[in-house]
Amino acid sequence: MTIWDAIILGIVEGLTEFLPVSSTGHLTIASKALGLPIDDASVTAFTAVIQFGAIAAVVLYMWKDIQRYAVAWFKGLTKPEHRGTFDHRMGWYVIIGSLPICFVGFLAKDIISGPLRSLWWVAGSLIGWSFFMVAAERLGSKKRPLEKITLTDAIVMGIIQCLALIPGVSRSGATMTAGLFRGLERVAVTKVAFLLGIPALVGAAIFELPDAMGGHVGAVPLLVGTVVSFIVGYASVAWLIRFVAKHTTEVFAFYRVLVGIVILILLATSTITAT
Protein backbone atom coordinates (compact mmCIF):
# COMPACT_ATOMS: atom_id res chain seq x y z
CA MET A 1 0.00 0.00 0.00
CA THR A 2 1.36 3.41 -1.00
CA ILE A 3 0.93 6.74 0.77
CA TRP A 4 -1.45 7.85 -1.97
CA ASP A 5 -3.53 4.72 -1.46
CA ALA A 6 -3.70 5.55 2.26
CA ILE A 7 -4.74 9.15 1.56
CA ILE A 8 -7.52 8.08 -0.80
CA LEU A 9 -8.81 5.44 1.60
CA GLY A 10 -8.59 7.93 4.48
CA ILE A 11 -10.75 10.37 2.52
CA VAL A 12 -13.28 7.64 1.72
CA GLU A 13 -13.38 6.56 5.39
CA GLY A 14 -13.81 10.11 6.67
CA LEU A 15 -16.56 10.88 4.17
CA THR A 16 -18.58 7.71 4.64
CA GLU A 17 -18.09 6.46 8.22
CA PHE A 18 -20.98 8.41 9.69
CA LEU A 19 -23.08 8.85 6.55
CA PRO A 20 -25.65 6.05 6.07
CA VAL A 21 -23.95 4.80 2.90
CA SER A 22 -21.60 2.12 4.33
CA SER A 23 -17.99 3.06 4.88
CA THR A 24 -16.94 -0.60 4.71
CA GLY A 25 -18.67 -1.01 1.39
CA HIS A 26 -17.08 2.11 -0.04
CA LEU A 27 -13.66 1.20 1.33
CA THR A 28 -13.98 -2.23 -0.26
CA ILE A 29 -14.87 -0.63 -3.60
CA ALA A 30 -12.06 1.93 -3.31
CA SER A 31 -9.52 -0.73 -2.33
CA LYS A 32 -10.54 -2.80 -5.34
CA ALA A 33 -10.21 0.23 -7.64
CA LEU A 34 -6.71 0.86 -6.27
CA GLY A 35 -5.70 -2.70 -7.08
CA LEU A 36 -5.43 -3.83 -3.47
CA PRO A 37 -6.44 -7.39 -2.46
CA ILE A 38 -9.75 -6.73 -0.70
CA ASP A 39 -9.84 -10.16 0.94
CA ASP A 40 -6.33 -9.79 2.37
CA ALA A 41 -6.24 -9.66 6.19
CA SER A 42 -3.91 -6.65 6.35
CA VAL A 43 -6.00 -4.57 3.94
CA THR A 44 -9.20 -5.46 5.80
CA ALA A 45 -7.48 -4.54 9.07
CA PHE A 46 -6.25 -1.24 7.61
CA THR A 47 -9.80 -0.15 6.80
CA ALA A 48 -10.82 -0.96 10.39
CA VAL A 49 -7.87 0.78 12.08
CA ILE A 50 -8.13 4.09 10.19
CA GLN A 51 -11.57 4.36 11.80
CA PHE A 52 -9.60 5.71 14.77
CA GLY A 53 -9.49 9.01 12.87
CA ALA A 54 -13.24 9.10 12.36
CA ILE A 55 -13.76 8.14 16.01
CA ALA A 56 -11.54 11.00 17.15
CA ALA A 57 -13.50 13.35 14.91
CA VAL A 58 -16.89 12.46 16.36
CA VAL A 59 -15.55 12.50 19.92
CA LEU A 60 -14.17 16.00 19.36
CA TYR A 61 -17.42 17.18 17.77
CA MET A 62 -19.59 15.74 20.55
CA TRP A 63 -17.11 16.23 23.38
CA LYS A 64 -19.38 18.36 25.60
CA ASP A 65 -22.21 15.83 25.37
CA ILE A 66 -19.91 12.84 25.88
CA GLN A 67 -18.26 14.48 28.88
CA ARG A 68 -21.64 15.30 30.41
CA TYR A 69 -22.95 11.74 29.96
CA ALA A 70 -19.75 10.21 31.33
CA VAL A 71 -19.64 12.43 34.41
CA ALA A 72 -23.32 11.77 35.18
CA TRP A 73 -22.87 8.02 34.66
CA PHE A 74 -19.93 7.83 37.06
CA LYS A 75 -21.74 9.97 39.64
CA GLY A 76 -24.77 7.74 39.41
CA LEU A 77 -22.70 4.71 40.38
CA THR A 78 -22.30 6.06 43.91
CA LYS A 79 -24.93 8.78 44.22
CA PRO A 80 -28.57 7.63 43.82
CA GLU A 81 -29.84 11.17 43.15
CA HIS A 82 -28.08 11.14 39.76
CA ARG A 83 -29.51 7.83 38.57
CA GLY A 84 -32.78 9.14 37.21
CA THR A 85 -31.30 11.92 35.12
CA PHE A 86 -31.24 11.83 31.34
CA ASP A 87 -27.44 12.15 31.21
CA HIS A 88 -26.94 9.17 33.53
CA ARG A 89 -29.38 7.05 31.56
CA MET A 90 -27.67 7.97 28.29
CA GLY A 91 -24.42 6.64 29.69
CA TRP A 92 -26.07 3.27 30.31
CA TYR A 93 -27.85 3.32 26.95
CA VAL A 94 -24.58 3.75 25.07
CA ILE A 95 -22.90 0.97 27.04
CA ILE A 96 -25.79 -1.49 26.70
CA GLY A 97 -26.49 -0.59 23.07
CA SER A 98 -22.84 -1.19 22.15
CA LEU A 99 -22.63 -4.71 23.58
CA PRO A 100 -24.37 -6.64 20.75
CA ILE A 101 -22.05 -5.55 17.94
CA CYS A 102 -18.94 -6.10 20.07
CA PHE A 103 -20.08 -9.64 20.86
CA VAL A 104 -21.22 -10.56 17.35
CA GLY A 105 -18.23 -8.86 15.71
CA PHE A 106 -15.80 -10.92 17.79
CA LEU A 107 -17.54 -14.22 17.03
CA ALA A 108 -17.98 -13.53 13.30
CA LYS A 109 -14.55 -11.97 12.59
CA ASP A 110 -13.43 -14.64 10.11
CA ILE A 111 -16.65 -14.45 8.11
CA ILE A 112 -16.66 -10.65 8.05
CA SER A 113 -13.07 -10.34 6.84
CA GLY A 114 -13.41 -13.26 4.43
CA PRO A 115 -16.49 -14.30 2.39
CA LEU A 116 -18.45 -11.10 3.10
CA ARG A 117 -15.73 -9.00 1.44
CA SER A 118 -17.09 -9.99 -1.97
CA LEU A 119 -18.39 -7.09 -4.06
CA TRP A 120 -21.53 -9.17 -4.69
CA TRP A 121 -22.31 -8.86 -0.99
CA VAL A 122 -21.46 -5.16 -1.00
CA ALA A 123 -23.73 -4.39 -3.96
CA GLY A 124 -26.61 -6.51 -2.66
CA SER A 125 -26.41 -4.96 0.81
CA LEU A 126 -26.23 -1.41 -0.54
CA ILE A 127 -29.41 -1.96 -2.51
CA GLY A 128 -31.26 -4.17 -0.03
CA TRP A 129 -30.87 -2.01 3.07
CA SER A 130 -31.92 1.09 1.13
CA PHE A 131 -35.52 -0.15 1.11
CA PHE A 132 -35.52 -0.32 4.91
CA MET A 133 -34.12 3.23 5.08
CA VAL A 134 -36.91 4.57 2.88
CA ALA A 135 -39.54 2.63 4.83
CA ALA A 136 -38.24 4.03 8.12
CA GLU A 137 -38.42 7.57 6.80
CA ARG A 138 -41.98 7.14 5.56
CA LEU A 139 -43.40 5.06 8.41
CA GLY A 140 -41.57 6.45 11.43
CA SER A 141 -43.31 9.26 13.28
CA LYS A 142 -40.05 11.17 13.98
CA LYS A 143 -41.74 12.87 16.95
CA ARG A 144 -39.56 11.88 19.89
CA PRO A 145 -36.48 14.02 20.66
CA LEU A 146 -33.26 12.60 22.10
CA GLU A 147 -34.43 13.33 25.66
CA LYS A 148 -37.29 10.84 25.17
CA ILE A 149 -35.08 7.90 24.22
CA THR A 150 -35.65 4.70 26.21
CA LEU A 151 -33.61 1.63 27.08
CA THR A 152 -35.68 -0.36 24.59
CA ASP A 153 -34.71 2.11 21.85
CA ALA A 154 -31.02 1.71 22.70
CA ILE A 155 -31.25 -2.10 22.74
CA VAL A 156 -33.11 -2.26 19.41
CA MET A 157 -30.66 0.14 17.76
CA GLY A 158 -27.74 -1.79 19.21
CA ILE A 159 -29.02 -5.11 17.91
CA ILE A 160 -29.77 -3.75 14.43
CA GLN A 161 -26.31 -2.17 14.39
CA CYS A 162 -24.93 -5.73 14.18
CA LEU A 163 -26.22 -5.96 10.61
CA ALA A 164 -23.59 -3.37 9.70
CA LEU A 165 -20.98 -6.11 10.01
CA ILE A 166 -22.17 -7.05 6.52
CA PRO A 167 -20.28 -4.73 4.14
CA GLY A 168 -22.74 -2.47 2.38
CA VAL A 169 -25.39 -2.21 5.09
CA SER A 170 -23.82 0.76 6.96
CA ARG A 171 -23.46 0.98 10.73
CA SER A 172 -24.92 4.47 10.95
CA GLY A 173 -27.56 3.54 8.39
CA ALA A 174 -28.64 0.53 10.43
CA THR A 175 -28.88 2.39 13.74
CA MET A 176 -30.55 5.44 12.22
CA THR A 177 -33.11 3.25 10.46
CA ALA A 178 -33.90 1.38 13.66
CA GLY A 179 -34.28 4.65 15.56
CA LEU A 180 -36.58 6.13 12.94
CA PHE A 181 -38.78 3.03 13.06
CA ARG A 182 -38.95 3.59 16.82
CA GLY A 183 -40.32 7.11 16.26
CA LEU A 184 -37.23 9.14 17.17
CA GLU A 185 -36.32 12.38 15.39
CA ARG A 186 -33.63 12.36 12.69
CA VAL A 187 -31.18 14.46 14.72
CA ALA A 188 -31.75 12.20 17.74
CA VAL A 189 -31.08 8.96 15.84
CA THR A 190 -28.03 10.52 14.18
CA LYS A 191 -26.49 11.48 17.51
CA VAL A 192 -27.24 8.05 18.98
CA ALA A 193 -25.66 6.43 15.91
CA PHE A 194 -22.54 8.53 16.54
CA LEU A 195 -22.41 7.53 20.20
CA LEU A 196 -23.03 3.82 19.61
CA GLY A 197 -20.33 3.86 16.95
CA ILE A 198 -17.55 4.96 19.31
CA PRO A 199 -17.18 1.74 21.38
CA ALA A 200 -17.81 -0.47 18.34
CA LEU A 201 -15.24 1.27 16.15
CA VAL A 202 -12.64 1.52 18.92
CA GLY A 203 -12.99 -2.20 19.64
CA ALA A 204 -12.69 -3.14 15.96
CA ALA A 205 -9.68 -0.88 15.42
CA ILE A 206 -7.77 -2.26 18.43
CA PHE A 207 -8.63 -5.83 17.49
CA GLU A 208 -7.40 -5.38 13.90
CA LEU A 209 -4.27 -3.32 14.68
CA PRO A 210 -1.77 -6.25 14.67
CA ASP A 211 -2.91 -7.42 11.21
CA ALA A 212 -2.84 -3.87 9.84
CA MET A 213 0.82 -3.41 10.78
CA GLY A 214 1.92 -6.19 8.48
CA GLY A 215 1.18 -7.64 5.07
CA HIS A 216 0.44 -5.07 2.35
CA VAL A 217 0.18 -2.08 4.71
CA GLY A 218 2.75 -0.85 7.23
CA ALA A 219 2.92 1.84 9.93
CA VAL A 220 3.31 4.96 7.76
CA PRO A 221 0.28 4.40 5.47
CA LEU A 222 -1.72 3.47 8.56
CA LEU A 223 -0.86 6.74 10.27
CA VAL A 224 -1.53 8.80 7.14
CA GLY A 225 -4.90 7.13 6.52
CA THR A 226 -5.94 7.72 10.13
CA VAL A 227 -5.01 11.41 10.12
CA VAL A 228 -6.80 12.01 6.82
CA SER A 229 -9.92 10.20 8.03
CA PHE A 230 -9.95 12.43 11.13
CA ILE A 231 -9.83 15.67 9.13
CA VAL A 232 -12.43 14.61 6.59
CA GLY A 233 -14.53 12.83 9.22
CA TYR A 234 -14.96 15.95 11.35
CA ALA A 235 -16.31 17.92 8.40
CA SER A 236 -18.60 15.00 7.49
CA VAL A 237 -20.05 14.73 11.01
CA ALA A 238 -20.71 18.46 11.25
CA TRP A 239 -22.38 18.48 7.83
CA LEU A 240 -24.60 15.45 8.55
CA ILE A 241 -26.03 16.91 11.76
CA ARG A 242 -27.03 20.08 9.91
CA PHE A 243 -28.40 18.11 6.96
CA VAL A 244 -30.69 15.73 8.86
CA ALA A 245 -32.16 18.62 10.84
CA LYS A 246 -33.96 19.77 7.70
CA HIS A 247 -33.81 16.96 5.14
CA THR A 248 -34.89 13.35 4.69
CA THR A 249 -32.28 10.59 4.59
CA GLU A 250 -33.94 9.07 1.52
CA VAL A 251 -31.36 10.78 -0.70
CA PHE A 252 -28.72 8.46 0.77
CA ALA A 253 -30.90 5.45 -0.02
CA PHE A 254 -31.23 6.48 -3.66
CA TYR A 255 -27.46 7.01 -3.86
CA ARG A 256 -26.86 3.55 -2.38
CA VAL A 257 -29.13 1.90 -4.94
CA LEU A 258 -27.37 3.68 -7.78
CA VAL A 259 -23.92 2.61 -6.57
CA GLY A 260 -25.13 -0.95 -6.01
CA ILE A 261 -26.58 -1.20 -9.51
CA VAL A 262 -23.36 0.11 -11.07
CA ILE A 263 -21.32 -2.50 -9.16
CA LEU A 264 -23.70 -5.30 -10.23
CA ILE A 265 -23.41 -4.25 -13.88
CA LEU A 266 -19.61 -4.16 -13.67
CA LEU A 267 -19.56 -7.59 -12.02
CA ALA A 268 -22.05 -9.09 -14.46
CA THR A 269 -20.05 -7.88 -17.46
CA SER A 270 -16.79 -9.13 -15.91
CA THR A 271 -15.41 -5.59 -15.97
CA ILE A 272 -14.35 -6.17 -12.36
CA THR A 273 -14.03 -9.26 -10.20
CA ALA A 274 -15.82 -9.77 -6.88
CA THR A 275 -12.64 -10.16 -4.79
Low-confidence ranges of the chain (pLDDT < 50): none
Residue 274 included in any domain? no
The verdict on residue 111 lying in a domain is: yes
DSSP H or E run through 139: helix 119-139
Q: Is residue 31 part of a domain?
A: yes
| CA dist., res. 197 & res. 155, Å (int) | 14
Cα 248–Cα 252–Cα 257 angle in degrees, nearest 5 = 135
Q: Is 34 contained in some domain?
A: yes
What pLDDT was estimated at residue 214? 66
Question: According to the model, what pLDDT value does residue 114 have?
Answer: 62
d(CA 71, CA 114): 40
Alpha helices in 17-62 (DSSP H): 23-33, 41-49, 51-61
At 185 the pLDDT is 97
Tell me which residue range forms the domain holding 111: 3-268
How many structural domains are present in the chain? 1
Q: Is residue 273 part of a domain?
A: no
Give dist(CA 113, CA 152) in Å, integer: 30
204 close to 26: Cβ distance less than 8 angstroms: no
> For the chain, what is the mean pLDDT?
91
Nearest to 14 by CA among 230, 200, 176, 190: 230
Q: Is 275 within a domain?
A: no
pTM for this prediction = 0.90
Strand pairing partners for 184? 144
| Burial classification of residue 245, based on how many CB atoms lie within 10 Å of its CB (0-12 exposed, 13-18 middle, 19 or more buried) | exposed
Nearest in space to 56 (alpha carbons), one of 95, 17, 5, 2: 17
Per the CB < 8 A criterion, the answer to whether 15 and 236 are in contact is yes
How far apart are alpha carbons 202 and 171 in whole angstroms?
14
Nearest to residue 250, comparing CAs of 139, 122, 145? Answer: 139
- Is residue 251 domain-resident? yes
Tell whether 138 is covered by a domain.
yes
